[in-house]
């Protein structure tokens, strides 16, 4: 009898192990598999057809021929490019210093708020944006609570040296430019603030005892040194007191970023058509040059000769705000397409939109498809045909390529997929899709359960 009991116990254990093994075998190894796409990951020197697998919101594998049976959701991205989520280090997504009653006669400032909805940039394959100084020390907490904490897209920030931020009527007030207050705020929010921004300082009026030529830049640099972060400079040269050459060859430190590099006011191109030697010298000493397209900072007459002579930007950024999003800058992929039209390679354009900006803001955990990194992914399509692009001087450049975003994945969730790459045809959808909600059963009639929205505070 004892032998029989032992035998039965062994059978029961074996059966239990078998069932557990079957359950384990039926559980997919990956949540999501992007299959058959051309992976461009400059951070890891990957340029070829590979599969990308995602599990738990992280990159789980980047390999050839990962079996479809190992993933719960498989998306065929053949003929498309799979890249790290794009990074735009110059946007405006906050109220800043603009008063809520900016339109009222009694308002302190009548400048409109610059803000655009942060999540709108997910439509361009962008998964990380950096607000470029819309807020300062006195207004950053509002930006954090209104936008940063409530966006699906990752939002970081450059802190304006002006405590009130932009468009509040105080950008020329030197009492607002306190390096100590600026550095204190950066140290408090170091996980969110990547550096200091100086912009719009004293562009027209005569110099006076208070408003000396370099006050804005010098105070931003002082904050940057105290906090141990780079600065981003939006600059208007006024030679001889404030020449561009002094900014990039003396004032800026290695790792500091000059945004709006191809704006009309800079002597990028000499009268003989050659790139100004100061540009090469500044780059050699470590100054970083960023596009910052915007509504008044990008001219083909500067950009095209520079690119043709090998002086390409270190990073591509949009300077998207309420005045540039409709016609001029439009989107990240639109500006990337302009650089394709000027002769840059797709590989360079992706590098300037992923790994380069990640390094510039000292966030090398971003802009990569490294295994274990957050699953921020852009799926892009390169169209061929006849396309035209405009600059901020209303001039046109023709090209034969255009980038569009087909899908954006943020921390493993498919947050943008307008053409349904990841979806089943409605006739083939599961039973729940045909469910009609009632007061007793308000379930959403969805074709699958894959996450397509990233709630706040999930990262």
What share of the chain has pLDDT > 70, as a percent? 93
Over residues 238-282, the pLDDT tens digits come to 999 999 999 999 999 999 999 999 999 999 999 999 999 999 999
Report yes or no: 413 and 452 within 8 Å, Cβ to Cβ. yes
What DSSP state is assigned to residue 433?
A: G
* Interatomic CA distance for residues 332 and 354, integer angstroms: 12
Range 16-37 average pLDDT? 71
Checking if the pLDDT of 9 tops 60, the result is: no
Please, where are the H alpha helices in 309-393? 332-341, 346-351, 355-360
Range 339-346 average pLDDT? 98
Over residues 108-119, the pLDDT tens digits come to 888 888 899 999
Report yes or no: 342 and 75 within 8 Å, Cβ to Cβ. no
Confidence of residue 100 (pLDDT cuts 50, 70, 90): confident
β pairing state of 154-160 and 126-136: parallel
Q: What pTM did the predictor assign?
A: 0.93
Checking if the pLDDT of 55 tops 90, the result is: yes
- Per domain, the residue ranges of the chain are 86-370+385-392
Report yes or no: 229 and 193 within 8 Å, Cβ to Cβ. yes
Cα-Cα-Cα-Cα dihedral of 336, 337, 343, 348, to 10°? 30
The fourth-level CATH superfamily of domain 86-370+385-392 is: Metal-dependent hydrolases (3.20.20.140)
Sequence-separated (6 or more) residues with CB below 8 Å from residue 4: none
Over residues 173-230, the pLDDT tens digits come to 999 999 999 999 999 999 999 999 999 999 999 999 999 999 999 999 999 999 999 9
* Interatomic CA distance for residues 132 and 130, integer angstroms: 6
Report yes or no: 360 and 316 within 8 Å, Cβ to Cβ. no
What share of the chain has pLDDT > 90, as a percent? 86
DSSP state letters, 371-405: TTSB--EEEEEEEEEEEEEE-TTS-EEEEEEEEEE
Range 356-381 average pLDDT? 98
* Interatomic CA distance for residues 75 and 34, integer angstroms: 5
What's the sign of the alpha-carbon dihedral 104, 106, 112, 113? negative
């Amino acid at each position: 009898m004892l032998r029989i009991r032992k035998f039965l116990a062994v059978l029961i254990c074996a059966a239990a192990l078998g069932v557990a093994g079957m359950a384990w075998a039926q559980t997919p190894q990956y949540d999501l598999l992007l299959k058959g796409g051309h992976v461009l990951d400059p951070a890891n020197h990957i340029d070829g057809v590979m599969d990308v697998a995602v599990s738990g919101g992280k990159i789980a594998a980047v390999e050839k021929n990962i079996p479809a049976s190992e993933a719960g959701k498989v998306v065929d991205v053949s003929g498309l490019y799979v890249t790290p989520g794009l990074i735009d280090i110059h946007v405006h997504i906050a109220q800043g210093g603009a008063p809520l009653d900016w339109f009222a006669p009694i308002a302190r400032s009548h400048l409109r708020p610059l803000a655009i909805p942060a999540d709108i940039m997910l439509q361009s394959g962008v998964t990380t944006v950096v607000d470029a100084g819309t807020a300062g020390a006195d207004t950053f907490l509002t930006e954090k609570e209104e936008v940063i904490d409530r966006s699906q897209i990752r939002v970081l920030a450059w802190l304006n040296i002006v405590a009130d931020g932009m468009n509040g009527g105080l950008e020329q007030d030197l009492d607002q430019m306190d390096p100590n207050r600026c550095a204190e705020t950066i140290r408090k929010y170091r996980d969110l603030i990547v550096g200091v921004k100086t912009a719009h300082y004293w562009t027209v009026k005569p110099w006076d005892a208070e408003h000396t030529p370099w006050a804005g830049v010098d105070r931003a640099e002082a904050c940057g040194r105290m906090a141990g972060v780079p600065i981003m400079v939006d600059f208007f040269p006024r030679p001889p007191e404030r020449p561009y050459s002094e900014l990039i060859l003396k004032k800026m430190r290695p790792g500091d970023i000059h945004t709006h590099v191809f704006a009309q006011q800079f002597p990028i191109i000499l009268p003989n058509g050659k790139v100004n030697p100061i540009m090469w010298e500044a780059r050699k000493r470590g100054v970083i040059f960023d596009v910052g397209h915007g509504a008044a900072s990008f001219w083909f007459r500067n950009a095209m000769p520079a690119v043709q002579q090998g002086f390409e930007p270190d990073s591509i950024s949009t300077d998207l705000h309420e005045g540039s999003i409709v016609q001029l800058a439009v989107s990240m992929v639109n500006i990337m397409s302009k650089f394709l039209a000027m002769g840059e390679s797709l590989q360079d354009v992706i590098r300037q939109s992923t790994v380069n900006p990640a390094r510039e803001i000292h966030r090398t955990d971003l802009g990569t498809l490294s295994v274990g990194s957050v699953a921020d992914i852009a799926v892009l399509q390169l169209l061929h045909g006849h396309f035209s692009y405009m600059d901020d001087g209303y001039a046109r450049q023709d090209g034969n390529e255009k980038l569009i975003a087909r899908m954006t994945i943020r921390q493993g969730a498919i947050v943008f997929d307008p053409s349904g790459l990841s979806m089943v045809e409605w006739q083939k959808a599961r039973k729940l899709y045909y469910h009609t909600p009632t007061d007793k059963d308000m379930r959403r009639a969805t074709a699958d359960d894959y996450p397509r929205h990233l709630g706040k505070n999930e990262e």
